[in-house]
Structure 1
Amino acid sequence: MIFAYRPSETGLERVPGGGDPSDELRAALWVDLLSPQPAQVAAVEALGISVPTLADMQEIEVSNRLYRDGNTEVLTIVLPGLDKHKEPTFGPVAFLITPERLFTVRYHTPRPFETFAAHAGQSSAGYSGRRRVFLGLIEEIVARIADLLEGVGEALDQQSHVAFRDPEPRGDELADTLRALGRQSEQVAKYRHALLTVERALSSFGLGLESDKEKGLREVLKAQVKDCQALAVHGDFLSSRIAQLTDVTLGLINLEQSVASRILSVVAVLFLPPTLVASVYGMNFPFIPGLDHPYGYLIATVLMIGSALGTYLLSKWKKWL
């Protein structure tokens, strides 16, 4: 799919479709390609733009993510979003900054690409040029990652309630907490990775501003780099919270298992003296004292019950139960 946007009085608006695709692209300031089909790729490449494939964007080499192709600056970052099945995922997004317009290529759906057109008028970078649109998009992306990190913080508050405030959390609650902490740790790691790729892209983008005559862009760029660094620090803080809660949860699980093991051990000890009495009088010797006593059964039963009761009282006195 191709979404073409042009400046309006309040922000960015969609370029009306239905006509010649080439005219639609030429009238746009920002062209967003979502999982482009071969015909759509051909329409863009007719303007002299080389559209990277998903395999190209997934390359881990820096030279394949941040480079110049003639007059086009190509910056690739990794962002959270939704796949075609509406499931959370992380994937690459390429920004192609040409002398005339901005192209973006993506194969999943990060939320900022759906909301930026309506918020472009509120961007600190503005939207009057392709560089300003790029910085405005980055601003929307950084704000979205900040919201996601805040969501992780709220989830950690709920997990800490289970770990620190519940009087006796159950084993299934602790297991659910441990799984949730693992998911949140993975999310924070991916958000920090996204921030790292954004910061690298901004640094590469800043090199092209040395001779740029548009005022204020370098200040906006510096502010966004500082935002990325601040959010990375916040991500480290969340990671430390996750590590602490994981240790606490594992400690509570170990305590619960220790209590269960202690109870089972004491219960087993309770039956040792009765078992000893029963074993003595269950031996197959012809002569055992008391076998012919008329109250032998009752005496043995009293011995077994009394020994078990004595062991129980000793365990309670020692606070083993």
Structure 2
Amino acid sequence: MITAYTLNGKSLDIQPLTVADSLPPKTLWLDIFKPDEEEQSWMKQLFVEEAPELDELDDIEASARFYRDKDGLHIHSLFPQRLGKEIDGINVLFTLRNDMVISLREDDLGLMRLLRHYMRQDRLEVEDAPDLLLEIFQLKIEYISDLIEDGYKTLEDTGKEVLQVDDLHRTMSDLMHLEDGNGHVRLALYDTRRALRFLKRSLRRGASDEQRNWIDEMLYDIESLLPHTQFLFDKINFQLEAAMGFTSLEQSKVIKIFSVAAVVFLPPTLIASIYGMNFEIMPELGFEYGYLMSLVMMLMSACGTYYFFKRKGWL
């Protein structure tokens, strides 16, 4: 799917395109979402060198994620995306030219929908392509900040539930999702910092003072958010260890009950074993109240053992 965003004053108009259409005038942003073979061929007319492909989105080398060629600046940026309780990372390739931004992505991205919503409400004001790209990164940082705040709220809830046996499995599942999501958030922050630094170096001559200050402010925001992700990691690990320790404690209580029960019934078992032997000469075999005496001895030995454990505070 190809969508063109044309500049209208300081706002953007949205115009879907097909492969039969030509690029509209004043196109500031061309968003290409999961292109098929025909759309991939149509893309080639936009590039002097080789057009990017979807399988290049997951490259991790810095030289493949941030570089300049005849087509402009190429920036691979990682966007966190919440899907229920899970957070995933989605790569988007941006190509920045003097007059246009071209984005290529394989997955739907909620941040793009939010950006279109701002456009329809005229809440987005841009003057050129760098402005638009910086707006996208600004929204990304704000979204990451919201995810971190959600992480704090989730930790407050799990902190209250971590010692509740009934919800322990669900709580540990929430903590595992939060730990994985926080990893994606932290990775997205590092990736965004690298992208903005590359953008600042590349635009040091062509960018306005306002745009350079904007980049500096976003870099400052990223530096202020990174310690929060580390704190979340520490807090998550603490709650996971507490949950596992509480689980071990509950298991120890169960094992303790079985151990005490085995020891309590050990003396009666010994007495029963003695009188269960089939020796020919056993004085008690001829005793009229021998059976009753053995039952009383077994009961007293069990009660005595229980009282001993109770007095020692082991029960």
**Common fold, TM-score beyond 0.5?**
yes
Kindly provide the CA deviation profile for residues 46-84 of structure 1, in whole angstroms up to 9, marking residues without a partner as x.
12364322221212211111011214100001222379x
- C-alpha offsets along residues 215-254 of structure 1, whole Å, 9 cap, x if unaligned? 4000110111111122211111111110111121121112
Cα deviation code 1:24-57 (max 9, x no counterpart): 3x44211111111222222232123643222212
Kindly report which structure 2 residues correspond to 1:176-215, keeping only aligned pairs within 5 A, or say none.
176-215=170-209
Letter in 1 for 2:158: Q
1:108 aligns with 2:98: no
Determine which of 224, 234, 238 is the counterpart of 2:232: 238
Residue in 2 that maps onto 1:225? 219
**Number of aligned positions between the proteins:** 310
Q: Match of 1:299, as an amino acid?
A: M
CA contact 1:6–1:15 (8 Å) conserved in 2: yes
Unmatched segments (≥5 aa) in structure 1: none
For 1:28, the aligned partner's letter is: T
2:257 is aligned with 1:263: yes
SS at match of 1:78: strand
Task: Give the distance between the partners of 1:183 and 1:131, measured in 2 at CA.
Answer: 35
Q: Percent identity?
A: 29
C-alpha distance in 2, partners of 1:53/1:20? 20
| Residue aligning to 2:70 | 70
Deviations 1:291-317 (A, max 9, x none): 111111111001111111111122222
Residue 127 of structure 1 aligns to a residue whose secondary structure is coil
Between the aligned partners of 1:228 and 1:241, the Cα distance in structure 2 is 20
Question: Which residue of structure 2 lines up, in the alignment, with residue 299 of structure 1?
Answer: 293
Amino acid paired to 2:274: V
What TM-score results when the alignment is normalised by the length of structure 2? 0.91
In 1, the alpha carbon distance for the partners of 2:17 and 2:104 equals: 19
For structure 2, the 5+ residue unaligned runs are none
Contact 2:44 2:51 in 1 (8 A): yes
Give the TM-score normalised by the residue count of structure 1.
0.90
* Contact 2:47 2:71 (8 Å CA) reproduced: no
For each residue in 1:114-150, what CA deviation from the matched residue of structure 2 results, as whole angstroms up to 9, or x when unmatched? 1113335546xx4111000000000111111111122
* More deviation, 182-191/44-53: 44-53
Name the stretch that deviates more: 128-137 or 180-189. Answer: 180-189
> Deviation per CA, 1:139-182, whole angstroms, max 9, x where unpaired?
1111111111222221111110013xx5xx21x53233223212
In structure 2, how many angstroms separate the alpha carbons of the residues matched to 1:268 and 1:157? 42
Partner of 2:159: 160
Partner of 2:98: 99
Q: Distance in 2 between matches of 1:129 and 1:204?
A: 19
Between the aligned partners of 1:110 and 1:81, the Cα distance in structure 2 is: 7
Decide whether aligned partners of structure 1 residues 293 and 228 sit closer, same or farther in structure 2, where only a CA change above 3 A counts.
same
